[in-house]
Chains A and B, each alone.
Chain A
Amino acid sequence: MRREAHLGDRIFYLLLNGVALSVLMLLGAIAWQLIHLSLPAIHKFGFGFFSSTNWDPVQEVFGAGPVIFGTLVSSGLALLIAAPISVGVALFLNELAPRRLAEAVGFLVEMLAAIPSVVYGLWGIFVLAPFLRITVEPWLSGHFGWLPLFRGAPYGVGMLAAALILAMMITPTIAAICKEVFRAVPQSQREAARALGATKWETMRLAVLESSHSGILGAVILGLARALGETMAVTMVIGNRAEIAASLFAPGQTMASVIANEYAEASGDLHLSALAFVGLALFAVSFAINSVARILVWRLNRNRGRDF
Chain B
Amino acid sequence: MVGLLIGCAILALFPLFSVFLYVCQQGLPGLHVNFFTSLPKPVGEVGGGMANAVLGSLILITLASLIGIPVGIATGVYLSEYGKTKLSMILRFCTELLAGVPSIIIGIFAYSLFVIPMGRFSSYAGGAALAVIMIPTVARTTEELLKLVPVHIREAGLALGISRWKVTLIIVLRGSLSGIMTGVMLGLARVTGETAPLLFTALGSQYWPRSLDQPIASLPVQIYTYAISPFEEWHQQAWTGALVLVLFVFILNLTTRMILKRHAPAKD
Q: Give A contacts to B, CB under 8 Å.
A: 6, 8-9, 11-13, 15-17, 19-24, 26-27, 29-30, 33-34, 36-37, 84-89, 91-93, 96-97, 105, 107-112, 114-123, 125-127, 168, 171-172, 175, 200-201, 222, 225-226, 228-232, 235-236, 256, 259-260, 263-264, 275-276, 279, 282-283, 286-287, 290-291, 294
Contact = CB atoms under 8 A, between A and B. Distances in A.
A276 B16 CA distance: 34
Given A8-B163, A229-B103, A283-B105, A118 B8 contact: no
B71 A19 contact: yes
Contact of A116 (B11, B79, B194): B194
Contacts of B7: 88
Contacts of B100: 222, 225-226, 229, 286-287, 290
B239 A88 contact: no
Contacts of A9: 163-165
A121 B221 CA distance: 12
A92 B112 contact: no
A186 to B, nearest CB: 21
Given A17-B87, A115-B249, 5 more contacts: A8-B165, A88-B8, A116-B249, A118-B242, A256-B196
23 contacts: A11-B165, A16-B77, A20-B79, A20-B87, A23-B94, A26-B132, A27-B98, A30-B101, A34-B108, A88-B9, A89-B12, A92-B8, A96-B5, A107-B257, A109-B13, A114-B189, A116-B193, A118-B224, A125-B228, A226-B100, A236-B224, A260-B199, A263-B108
Given A89-B8, A282-B105, A105 B239 contact: no
Q: Which of A11, A114, A116, A259 has the most CB of B within 10 A?
A: A116
Nearest to A22: B71
Contact of A37 (B112, B193, B203, B257): B112
Contact of B108 (A33, A91, A117, A286): A33
Contacts of A26: 98, 132, 135
Given A6-B163, A110-B253, A119-B242, A279 B108 contact: yes
Contact of B109 (A33, A230, A256): A33
B206 to A, nearest CB: 15
Nearest to A82: B12
A253 to B, nearest CB: 13
A120 B238 CA distance: 12
A118 B193 contact: yes
Contacts of B94: 23-24, 27
A97 B249 CA distance: 27
A34 B107 CA distance: 11
Interface string B1-31: 1101111110111011011001100100000
Nearest to A85: B8
A8 B104 contact: no
A257 B184 CA distance: 29
Main secondary structure of the interface of B (DSSP, over half): helix
Contact of A114 (B15, B107, B250): B250
Interface of B: 1-2, 4-9, 11-13, 15-16, 18-19, 22-23, 26, 71, 74-75, 77-79, 81-82, 87-88, 90-91, 93-98, 100-109, 111-113, 121, 132, 135, 139, 163-166, 168, 189, 192-196, 199-200, 203, 220, 223-224, 227-228, 235, 238-239, 242, 245-246, 249-250, 253, 257
B91 A118 contact: no
A23 B96 contact: no
Contacts of B112: 33-34, 36-37
B246 A116 contact: yes
B8 A23 contact: no
Given A92-B5, A259-B104, A283-B102, A232 B12 contact: no
Given A19-B74, A122-B242, A264-B200, A117 B193 contact: yes
A228 B11 CA distance: 22
B246 A229 contact: no
A294 B242 contact: no
B5 A88 contact: yes
Contacts of B18: 123, 127
Contacts of B9: 88-89, 92-93, 97, 105
Given A115-B19, A116-B194, A122 B98 contact: no
Contacts of A122: 23, 223, 227, 238-239, 242
A168 B15 contact: yes
A109 B12 contact: yes
Q: Which of B23, B96, B227 has the most CB of A within 10 A?
A: B227
Contacts of B235: 126
Given A116-B220, A282-B105, A111 B253 contact: yes
Given A111-B16, A123-B18, A229 B2 contact: no
A299 B72 CA distance: 26
Contacts of A33: 108-109, 112-113
B30 to A, nearest CB: 13
Contacts of B93: 291, 294
A16 B82 contact: yes
B109 A29 contact: yes
Contacts of A222: 100
